[in-house]
Amino acid sequence: MDIARCNLECELNNTDHHTDLNGVDRLIVRRGQPFIITLHLNSGGYQPGVDDFRLLAETGPYSSEKMGTKAIFSPDDSIDDTRWSASVSCSEGDYVSLSICSSPDASIGRYSLSLEQGDTVSLGEFVLLFNPWCPRDAVYMDTEEERAEYVLTQDGIIYRGDHKYLQGTPWNFGQFEEGILDACLRILDENPKYLRNAQDDCSGRRNPVYVSRVLSAMINCNDDKGVLWGKWSGDYKDGISPMYWRGSVEILRNWDTSSCTPVRYGQCWVFAAVACSVSRALGIPCRVITNYLSAHDTNSNLVIERYIDENGKLVKQSRDMIWNYHCWVEGWMRRPDLLDGYDGWQASDPTPQEKSEGVYCCGPVPVKAIKEGQIVFKYDAPFVFTEVNADVVTYLQHKDGSQTACKCNEYSYISMSTQNLIYLQICSKEEREAFERAGHQNKLLQQQLQPGLHIKIKVSPEMKKGCDFDVFAYVTNNTNAAKMCRLMFCSRATSYDGILGDDCGFKDLLNLKLAPGEEKQVPLKLNYCKYGSTLTKDNLIRLTAILFDYSTKEAILAMRTIVLENPEIKIKVLGEPKVNRKLAAEITVKNPLPEPLSSCCVFVEGANLTGGRTITETIGSSVAPGADAKVKVYFTPSHSGLRKLLVDFHSDNLGHVKGYRNVIIGK
């Protein structure tokens, strides 16, 4: 055949392979699924049995049939979707259409395609991705609804806040925005395993377990030229606060265009969100999950040991921590390397906490194994198990240096939730059985309605930033004898990773009398003039109540973290939302503080709404207490369907206030 040119039929194939949101200017296909190319001939036509040729598909710098990174195959009568194959689908006049199918376990990445018929003719290049639509692919999902949610959806909600006050943060995953797929492929090529042995690494890319583990290491930069630099204390003057980010697009672009310089800074929800974007871009179904009261066990004993002083302040004798929440990702895949029954969601954590096999990465490990307490499974099951199901032991350190183990009426167990569901109940029977299977006994179970002293913290129904409000300690004497006690009720600003800040309010009752069966309510006033300057950007306050029984020398502890509400962002879309039609959004935020706001900015972005960029509007004047900050922004949608317009309001005293508006874009 005298080939003049090859048409890779990008628009047809990309649409068929659910990659058209990446654009249709190049071929992006999914493995195990046929695609069409058309050969245009200079003269003559294709003659079956006469024009013999072979096709070559190659990936990586050292492609090899043995390693599975080179495929050589000739056209057959029909496609075989279990391996690399091809067939002539149409031959008429001066063109030939070929149907080509990759192996369902082929390595993902950039490929070159060529034709051999004596000489070798280059037909072009394409990108091959994992295929959740292909039953033979290890990432196959069997419902269209799930594939739409975990592969194609470009925005979502990441839960932060507290387990008693779930705070949804909108996020633009943006996996199909311009340049993002290239950045994701570059992440694979910059990982140390590729740099040490490109042939082995490219071969490993056939396995989503391998790729997920690479991503877990490469989203952070602790061991490599990874995407994000983590920082949890101090200021962010030499970078950008983690609170600033509204999506993954700007982060991935910044990393890609700065010669892979790590982007400063990220924290757990940012690490997880970027990992989710990259996973979905490569074709791995993925979701961000939030684990509330998340344990960080540094000595692998599945017990979190904490030491506090009489003012409720942590005494740093242990590196064990409880984060108010922690985010990671779950990817959907088969696990042929494990026992049967552990396919499905696999937990993977890109936030750098502890090393795994000498590298800061974690997972993937089957969620089912964690629920069952099967801590011998790959990878890093003990660490993840502790995050969701650790026991907590708190010791009260007295001024004379002695220590008392606290009975804890609240705040002892861990729960896990995801974007769409909560699937581990606190202290469920299954969790206890799982804990025992892991070989550890929980000694804190015998608490509910037992004889003795009890303490519980309750809060006001609304706790808005800028307002004064009360919180309450309820103490109960569930004995037949009168009790003389000391109650220490304190509050401190805290960050989400459990690091305590300055005092927000304190009450110390040295002689609290409790009659038999008596319950008393003790209020603690939290005033904005006191807590306003101490709050971190997380808007969290840790409440600690310690009841000390003089007669028995027993200490009873209750702890609770509260989230102060930011004001609501009101977003009004003006005009009829249609593709390629300019729209306006009117954004309003009321200042809830008793002081003016200055340096006010509004940041707006949205997948397929703002052209892959962030729209920034500044407010020139300060905003008085109780007044509205109002701006209008303009954007032009590029695709139809349900989209999220993400808004971030920032000022000197209010920090980053986030909101979103769902917009249905018509064709």
Q: Is 326 one of the catalytic residues?
A: yes
* Angle 169-170-171 from CA coordinates, rounded to 5°: 115
Whole-angstrom Cα distance, residue 252 to residue 241? 16
Residue (of 255, 257, 258) closest to 266 by Cα position: 255
Residue 337 structure tokens: 């390397």
Q: Are 111 and 37 in contact (CB under 8 A)?
A: no
Per the residue annotation, which of 17, 296, 326, 454 is the catalytic one?
326
Q: Are 37 and 97 in contact (CB under 8 A)?
A: yes
Is the peptide bond prior to 265 cis by the omega test (within 30 degrees of 0)?
yes
**CB neighbour burial string for 392-415, b if at least 16 within 10 angstroms, e if fewer:** bbbbbbeeeeeebebbbbebbbbb
Whole-angstrom Cα distance, residue 231 to residue 263? 11
- Number of helices (H), then strands (E), belonging to the chain: the values are 12, 37
Q: Are 662 and 606 in contact (CB under 8 A)?
A: no
Whole-angstrom Cα distance, residue 9 to residue 20? 12
Residue with tokens 């999506």: 247
Contacts of 461 (CB under 8 A, 6+ apart): none
* Angle 151-156-157 from CA coordinates, rounded to 5°: 140
Contacts of 120 (CB under 8 A, 6+ apart): 56, 114
Residue 443 structure tokens: 């000694």
Residue 70 structure tokens: 């080179």
Q: Are 524 and 505 in contact (CB under 8 A)?
A: yes
- Segment 178-181 long-range contacts (CB within 8 Å, at least 24 positions apart): 178/23, 178/612, 179/252, 179/253, 179/256, 179/612, 180/248, 180/249, 180/252, 180/253, 180/277, 180/281, 181/22, 181/28, 181/127, 181/281
Per the residue annotation, which of 268, 286, 362, 600 is the catalytic one?
268
Q: How far is CA 207 from the centre of its chain?
A: 21
Residue 470 structure tokens: 């009360």
Whole-angstrom Cα distance, residue 222 to residue 352? 7
In the chain, the N- to C-terminal Cα span, in Å, equals 43
Q: Give the CA dihedral 380, 382, 383, 388, nearest 10 degrees.
A: 120
Q: Are 342 and 368 in contact (CB under 8 A)?
A: yes
Per the residue annotation, which of 137, 320, 349, 497 is the catalytic one?
349
Residue (of 334, 367, 364) closest to 142 by Cα position: 334
CA dihedral for 510, 513, 519, 523, sign (positive or negative): negative
Whole-angstrom Cα distance, residue 501 to residue 643? 39
Q: How far is CA 421 from CA 126, 222, 269, 487, 659, in A?
A: 37, 32, 17, 38, 21
Give the SS3 label for residue 14.
helix
Task: Give one word for 380, left, alpha or beta, with left for phi > 0 and alpha for psi -120 to 50.
Answer: left
Q: What is the DSSP letter of 664?
A: E
Q: Is 268 one of the catalytic residues?
A: yes
- Residues known to be catalytic: 268, 326, 349
